[in-house]
Amino acid sequence: GKAMKAFGKRIWEILGERTGPDVVFEHVGAATFPASVFLANKFGRIVICGATTGFQLNFDVRHLWMHQKSIIGSHFADAGEATKANQLIERGQIRPVLTRTFKWEEIPAAHQEMFENKLHGNVACLVGAPREGLKNLEETRAALASHA
């Protein structure tokens, strides 16, 4: 409805043109899948690699066939593809969105919050990383060396 169209207009502002994204990476599932299908550009692809908010998807299929969009299932990537994806993040071409980041010592609390279904969106745990925001192995090694 109105919220979806407003969201689409915001995407146009970000992209600088009246067009949707050619590829939408969908991980949230039931809560956002209808928006992903609606907002993807004509001939666009919706790549689904998870369903944090639910596996049963309910969406207006007309937005799929009328604009010749495709839904692709994926387990994300092999090591080489993950490296390429990380390079896109490093260059600022993709911005991962995290709802929350847990420190190593907070992992039991993270598991409890998952069990109680209190976490929404994407979360991360720092495993062997001294802080958030490190983009690659070199930055991580430098940060660890400065802590030693």
- Burial tier of 95 (Cβ tally within 10 Å: 0-12, 13-18, 19+): exposed
3-state secondary structure of 48: strand
Strands 70-73 vs 123-125: parallel, antiparallel or unpaired: unpaired
pLDDT score recorded for residue 18: 87
24 touches 45 (CB < 8 A): yes
Q: Which residues pair with 12 in a beta bridge?
A: none
CB burial readout 52-83, b (16+ within 10 A) else e: beeeebebeeeebeeeebebeeeeeeeeeeee
Report d(CA 112, CA 128) in Å as an integer. Answer: 21
Residue 96 has pLDDT above 80, yes or no: no
74 touches 49 (CB < 8 A): yes
- Summarize the confidence of residues 36-50 as an average pLDDT: 92
37 touches 69 (CB < 8 A): yes
Residue 148 has pLDDT above 70, yes or no: no
3-state secondary structure of 121: coil
- The model's pTM is 0.54
> For the chain, first and last CA: distance in Å?
54
- Taking only the tens place, the pLDDT of each residue in 46-91 is 999 888 888 899 999 999 999 999 999 988 678 888 889 888 888 9
Distances (CA, A) of 74 to 6, 7, 27: 29, 25, 10
Give the chain's domains with CATH numbers.
Answer: 1-76 (3.40.50.720), 96-148 (no CATH)
Report d(CA 59, CA 37) in Å as an integer. Answer: 8
Give the E-state strand segments of 18-119 in sequence order. 23-26, 45-48, 70-73, 100-102
Confidence of residue 44 (pLDDT cuts 50, 70, 90): very high
